[in-house]
Amino acid sequence: AQSVTQLDSQVPVFEEAPVELRCNYSSSVSVYLFWYVQYPNQGLQLLLKYLSGSTLVESINGFEAEFNKSQTSFHLRKPSVHISDTAEYFCAVRPPHNTDKLIFGTGTRLQVFP
Amino acid sequence: GAGVSQTPSNKVTEKGKYVELRCDPISGHTALYWYRQSLGQGPEFLIYFQGTGAADDSGLPNDRFFAVRPEGSVSTLKIQRTERGDSAVYLCASSLGPQGETQYFGPGTRLLVL
């Protein structure tokens, strides 16, 4: 069975500083990997995903994540955060070739301070 | 186009009552999912529909929970004899189906059982 661990429940950071949100997963099979973001009082939105191919994937708002198979990780990074990045970030996995449930981590609250 | 919609956005009920939560998926999406998100947690899978049938209901916590999708579009999650522990945000998501990798989430229904 798959599981997802997000070790950091909260990450406080000042505006324009770099940030890394950690995600580790366990699975006996290959998986698709996702990062979703939940802004205050809004629903979950897909931020980026890894399905296959290049291990580095990017979002349109400057976030990137790198799939590391040997470390079973999919950490999310941004070189310079904005106040507007304040949100809850969820890492999720799903086995490929099967439209099945997403397994989510417990989330990381990113709080960006001016 | 229109995203996933859920009604009501908020529902307050008394312990022991029956509630129905509705989900309208993105047009053309054959796969539909229900998740439950408790405070401070990531979403947890409840049930998955492919078309009209429940392909996986392994996440339903007990027989008080039931969901239907009679015409393969709109889905209703039904909770009988509600308990205070059922209080959570109930999320609906849809995807294109067997070829769809990405699940698109609705804004959720916040259920409070008093």
> Which pLDDT belongs to residue A96?
67
CATH code, B5-113: 2.60.40.10
pLDDT digits (tens, 9 = 90+) for A42-100: 889 999 999 888 889 999 889 999 999 889 999 999 999 999 999 999 999 987 665 57
**Counting Cβ atoms within 10 Å, is residue B53 exposed (0-12), middle (13-18) or buried (19+)?**
exposed
Q: CB-CB: which of A6, A51, A99 is closest to B31?
A: A99
Query: Is A2's pLDDT higher than 90?
Result: no
CB–CB contact B42 A107 (8 Å): yes
Distance from CA of A80 to the nearest CA of B (A): 26
Q: Are the C-beta atoms of A15 and A82 separated by less than 8 Å?
A: yes
Q: What are the residues whose beta carbons fall under 8 Å from the beta carbon of A47, sequence distance 6 or more?
A: A34, A35, A36, A37, A59, A63, A76, A89
Query: Is B55's pLDDT higher than 90?
Result: no
> Which pLDDT belongs to residue A98?
59
Query: Is B1's pLDDT higher than 70?
Result: no
Q: CB-CB: which of B45, B50, B106 is closest to A43?
A: B106
CB–CB contact A46 B44 (8 Å): no
Distance from CA of A4 to the nearest CA of B (A): 10
CB–CB contact B50 A36 (8 Å): no
Q: CB-CB: which of A32, A90, A100 is closest to B42?
A: A90
A73 token code pair: 């990780």
Q: Are the C-beta atoms of A39 and A33 separated by less than 8 Å?
A: no
Distance from CA of B11 to the nearest CA of A (A): 16
pLDDT digits (tens, 9 = 90+) for B25-50: 999 999 999 999 998 889 999 999 99
Query: Is B83's pLDDT higher than 80?
Result: yes
